[in-house]
Amino acid sequence: MTVTVIIAEAVDEALLPFPASPDAHLTDPLTRATLRVQSHMLTATRAFLTARGFQELLPPIIGPVTDPGIRGSKQVDVDFYGHKYKMMTSAILYKQASLLAFDKIFYIAPNVRLEPLETAVTHRHLAEFHQIDVEIRDARREDAMALAEQLVSHVVGEVLATMPAELDLLGRDADALREVLVGAFGRVGHQQATAELIGLGHPQDPAAEIDWQAEEIVSARADRPFFITDYPKGSRGFYDKENAEQPGVLRNFDLIAPEGYGELASGSEREHDYATLVTRMRETGENPAKYGWYLDLARRGIPASSGFGIGLERFTRYVTGRQAAWQASAYPKLPGVVSA
């Protein structure tokens, strides 16, 4: 109760009144316009991916293990007939496994992460959100980045072309959004991004993930989406492949939205070699014994792959120009706030 009150005050201070009731939120014309745009974004995503040979699968909701690479947030336990299962924080392990059946797959996947309380005011963190989750067999990181870029451009192009009335109602600056369509997205290495952040007075740790304040800083300075690549080992999950030519550097990327909206997606080339996975698990503090089904599969052979996950509520927030990601959810769950 106390926690909820503290957070509710913090949210008020951030000038973002969280709706007092579900009906206030659901009947708000801005919510309805945002959700109409989101629905269209999903239709455009499915059309884009299925036209390119991707198979949509329904994602798992629970499992014996889930993605541990979730900086600072907690997993949710489920009592599965006396076994401790987890709600999916991300379905990455299942995405890799799915490639045994299909060469290209995607999910629209729900994720639950108990994010730290202080993230309730970042405008970007929800405790329950969805990912457009894509995985491509035998693909390199660059293939995944090219696909993410094309997918985001396609979806934004579709909304701009078909939903001007909604964008107008939402007060979205369509010209700013149109910047997405102008050409290839920029790329900057993690090292360079870190140096720039330190130059700007932000104490970014060169060995760590770009923190969420830093993400907002680099995002606010951009007017087009761009990639940050090559995060250091230790900053990400065991499944991000290490660069054989550059030990300590991972073959991964984030896609950052401009205008201060922050991170839209994370992706990587995946580790799939059994022995390396076990070593990487140990290095990241994970107990391999927990990952029974996954490691058994890896021992028998998981395909090489690359992929990414785009946060749907964050992507919707960016496209619709809303203040916060929770406004792009019909039933928002904000960290620490007890609601519908």
Interface ranges with ligand AMP (CB under 6 A)? 70, 90, 113, 115, 125-126, 129, 131, 263-266, 309, 311, 313-314, 325
Is 163 or 310 the residue whose CB approaches ligand AMP more closely?
310
Q: CB of residue 318 vs ligand AMP: minimum separation in angstroms?
A: 10
Q: Which is nearer to Mg ion, 25 or 113 (CB)?
A: 113
Q: Which of these segments, 95-103, 179-187, 189-197, 260-268, binds Mg ion (CB under 5 A)?
A: 260-268
How many Cβ atoms sit within 10 Å of the Cβ of residue 289? 8
- CB-wise, 92 or 163, nearer to Mg ion? 92
CB of 160 to Mg ion, least distance (A): 26
Query: One-letter amino acid identity for 112?
Result: V
Select 169 or 232, whichever has its Cβ closest to ligand AMP.
232
Closer to ligand AMP by CB, 166 or 240: give it: 240
Nearest-approach distance from CB 268 to Mg ion, in angstroms: 10
Cα–Cα nearest to 140, from 56, 252, 266: 252
Q: Is 219 in the site for Mg ion (CB under 5 A)?
A: no
311 binds, among ligand AMP, Mg ion, none (CB under 5 to 8 A by kind): ligand AMP
**Placement of tokens 């390396």 in the chain:** 276
- Distance between CA 221 and CA 256 in Å, rounded? 11
Q: Is 122 in the site for Mg ion (CB under 5 A)?
A: no
Residue 251 contact, options Mg ion, ligand AMP, none, Cβ 5-8 Å cut-off depending on partner type: none
Distances (CA, A) of 311 to 100, 128, 263: 25, 11, 8
How far is the C-alpha of 44 from the C-alpha of 285, rounded, in Å?
39
Which part of the chain contacts Mg ion (CB under 5 A), choosing from 85-93, 116-124, 191-199, 259-267?
259-267
Give me the least distance between CB of 147 and ligand AMP, in Å please. Answer: 15
Instruction: Tell me how far, at minimum, the Cβ of 63 lies from ligand AMP, in Å.
Output: 16
Strands (E) in the chain, as ranges, are 55-56, 62-63, 77-80, 83-87, 104-112, 128-137, 186-189, 226-229, 252-257, 262-269, 305-311
Which residue, judged by CB position, is nearest to ligand AMP in the bound state? 311
Q: Please name the residues in contact with 258: beta carbons below 8 A apart, sequence gap of 6 or more.
A: 176, 179, 219, 222, 223, 224, 225, 226
Residue 314 touches which member of Mg ion, ligand AMP, none, C-beta under 5-8 Å by kind: ligand AMP
8 A C-beta contact, residue 269 and residue 275: no
Q: Which is nearer to ligand AMP, 19 or 169 (CB)?
A: 19
Half-sphere exposure of residue 248: CA atoms within 13 angstroms, side-chain side? 5
Report the residue number, 118 or 169, with the smaller CB distance to ligand AMP.
Answer: 118
Q: How many residues bind Mg ion (CB under 5 A)?
A: 1
CA angle at 237 for the pair 228 and 95, rounded to the nearest 5°: 95
45 vs 266 by CB, closer to ligand AMP: 266
What is the rounded CA–CA span in Å between residue 238 and residue 69?
8
Q: Rounded to whole angstroms, how far apart are CA atoms 330 and 24?
A: 11
Is residue 266 involved in binding Mg ion (CB under 5 A)?
Answer: yes
313 touches which of ligand AMP, Mg ion, none (CB within 5 to 8 A by kind)? ligand AMP
From the CB of 202, what's the least distance to ligand AMP, in Å?
Answer: 20
Residue 113 and residue 72: Cα distance in Å, rounded?
Answer: 10
* Residues forming the site for Mg ion (CB under 5 A): 266
